Amino acid sequence: MPLVSPSDPGRDDVSVNPVFTREPVRIPRNRLPDGELDPDTAYQVVHDELMLDGNARLNLATFVTTWMEPQAQRLMGESFDKNMIDKDEYPRTAELEQRCVRMLADLWHAPDPDHLSLIHIDRPNIVMGVDVQVCWEKFANYWEVEARLVPMEGERFHLTAAEVAAYCDENTIGVVVILGSTFDGSYEPVADICAVLDALQHEHGWDIPVHVDGASGAMIAPFCDPDLVWDFRLPRVASINTSGHKYGLVYPGVGWVVWRDVDALPADLVFKVNYLGGEMPTFALNFSRPGAQVIAQYYNFLRLGFDGYRRVQLYCREVASSLADRIEGLGAVSYTHL
Ligand SMILES: *Cc1c(COP(=O)(O)O)cnc(C)c1O
């Protein structure tokens, strides 16, 4: 029996009999148990409790990966013990990570070094649509940057160039443009927004860079809409992120961010640490991280290639559009009332 019971959510100690041939055990839920448990019993208790979770294969309400090939799972199982921050101990994992980054930079048309730098400003603001994911509001709060959220109106569910122009000023450190709005999946018009920012620069001298939040779309557009110009082909795009665990098709937790060139990533954000025998640059808020997801990402890149990703993404889009059409056909909910 699992440690939760819907009828009795408040009990501190629960008596369980996870393995029928053994003595039942009492297990505290909210404090560290006093003694040890046999590993089979501990396994069974945790396993049984997790049976009450949803079944990932049946989860249609997420765009995070819920299935990977058995070969990818095997590789992940073989590499759960690797800490990818320890690049001296695990140089091959570090190399696969670098290859993934170079593959993404190439996919997103990163140029040879160009010059774009973020300006230093005392009362900085950042402009984005209210459809941004909560991570951007966190960013603004933690870094004391004013979040200028452009509201949605009527049938418009994402940011457009006209609004961007009205919300920017000399203290704007960047505009976040979403490729794949979390509201409805639509692409915000990156090229139009860049053009408006070009005009602002011409008029006022403000050189405002663009970050593309391609959490979902940066792994869709290159394959399904190759003619759409949204990436580093636009000189104003300074950085792009994507979630490896969304349409990168890897189990949760891996994300990627690529800067256009070294100048676009301020050097004082990159720390050099001396760790276990070598000096290495580190840029992230957390330090130790699992290597298995990176290895699984590399497996997928190798396994699927451009054609494979294109096949999967086109098929996903077909399924999504067809489901959307049919749901609309039911007539029960109209899109504008969502
Ligand atoms: C999912 C998503 C995020 C957050 O990314 P995680 O990979 O879930 O951390 C940010 N922005 C957009 C547009 C998203 O779709």
Model confidence pLDDT, tens digit, residues 244-254:
999 999 999 99
Q: How far is the CA of 256 from the centre of ligand 1 (A)?
A: 11
Given pLDDT bands bounded at 50, 70 and 90, which one contains residue 322?
Answer: very high
Distance CA 173, CA 136 (A): 14
DSSP 8-class letter at 206: -
Cβ of 242 closer than 6 Å to ligand 1, yes or no, is: no
Cβ of 243 closer than 6 Å to ligand 1, yes or no, is: yes
Please check whether residue 239 is in contact with residue 211, taking contact to mean a CB–CB distance below 8 angstroms: yes
Residue 277: per-residue pLDDT: 67
Q: How far is the CA of 65 from the centre of ligand 1 (A)?
A: 13
Q: Which of 81-90, 229-238, 301-310 comes out lowest in average pLDDT? A: 81-90
**How confident is the model over 282-294, as pLDDT tens digits?**
777 777 888 999 9
User: What pTM, to 2 d.p., does this model score?
Assistant: 0.86
Given pLDDT bands bounded at 50, 70 and 90, which one contains residue 58?
Answer: very high
Cβ of 320 closer than 6 Å to ligand 1, yes or no, is: no
pLDDT at residue 166 tops 90:
yes
Please report which helix (H) or strand (E) contains residue 45, including its range: helix 39-50
CA-based torsion, 47, 52, 53, 57: positive or negative: positive
266 Cβ neighbours under 8 A, 6+ residues apart = 118
Query: Which residue minimizes the CA distance to atom 2 of ligand 1?
Result: 215
Ligand 1 pocket mutation pick from 182, 239, 250, 289 by most atoms within 8 angstroms of CB:
182
Nearest atom within ligand 1 for CA of residue 253: 7
Given pLDDT bands bounded at 50, 70 and 90, which one contains residue 6?
Answer: low
Residue 336: per-residue pLDDT: 55
**Can you tell me the mean pLDDT for 31-43?**
88
Query: Which residue minimizes the CA distance to atom 10 of ligand 1?
Result: 133
Cβ of 219 closer than 6 Å to ligand 1, yes or no, is: no
Query: Which residue minimizes the CA distance to atom 13 of ligand 1?
Result: 215
**Can you tell me the mean pLDDT for 161-172?**
94
Give the number of other Cβ atoms within 10 Å of residue 201's Cβ: 13
Q: At 176, is the secondary structure helix, strand, or coil?
A: strand
Give the number of other Cβ atoms within 10 Å of residue 244's Cβ: 24
Cβ of 178 closer than 6 Å to ligand 1, yes or no, is: yes
pLDDT at residue 52 tops 60:
yes
Cβ of 135 closer than 6 Å to ligand 1, yes or no, is: yes
pLDDT at residue 86 tops 70:
yes
pLDDT at residue 34 tops 70:
yes
**How confident is the model over 60-73, as pLDDT tens digits?**
888 899 999 999 99
Cα–Cα distance list, 109 to 81, 97, 176, 229, 257 (Å) = 34, 18, 19, 10, 14
Cβ of 250 closer than 6 Å to ligand 1, yes or no, is: no
Give the number of other Cβ atoms within 10 Å of residue 203's Cβ: 9
Question: Any bridge partners for residue 16, and if so which?
Answer: 25
Structure-token pair, residue 63: 């765009």
- 312 or 183, higher pLDDT: 312
- 220 or 11, higher pLDDT: 220
Longest Cα separation, the chain: 80
Please check whether residue 300 is in contact with residue 72, taking contact to mean a CB–CB distance below 8 angstroms: yes
Q: At 199, is the secondary structure helix, strand, or coil?
A: helix
Given pLDDT bands bounded at 50, 70 and 90, which one contains residue 12?
Answer: confident
pLDDT at residue 295 tops 90:
yes
Query: Which residue minimizes the CA distance to atom 6 of ligand 1?
Result: 243
pLDDT at residue 7 tops 60:
no
**Can you tell me the mean pLDDT for 24-33?**
86
Q: What is the dihedral of CA 316, 322, 324, 328, to 10 degrees?
A: 180
Q: How far is the CA of 327 from the centre of ligand 1 (A)?
A: 25
pLDDT at residue 110 tops 80:
yes
**Can you tell me the mean pLDDT for 110-132?**
73
Residue 338: per-residue pLDDT: 43
Nearest atom within ligand 1 for CA of residue 179: 13
Cβ of 314 closer than 6 Å to ligand 1, yes or no, is: no
Query: Which residue minimizes the CA distance to atom 9 of ligand 1?
Result: 243
Given pLDDT bands bounded at 50, 70 and 90, which one contains residue 337?
Answer: very low
pLDDT at residue 108 tops 90:
yes
In the chain, the amino acid numbered 163 is E
Q: How far is the CA of 89 from the centre of ligand 1 (A)?
A: 31
Query: Which residue minimizes the CA distance to atom 8 of ligand 1?
Result: 243
**Can you tell me the mean pLDDT for 261-275?**
78
**Can you tell me the mean pLDDT for 198-205?**
96
DSSP 8-class letter at 117: -
**Can you tell me the mean pLDDT for 231-254?**
96
Distance CA 251, CA 162 (A): 38
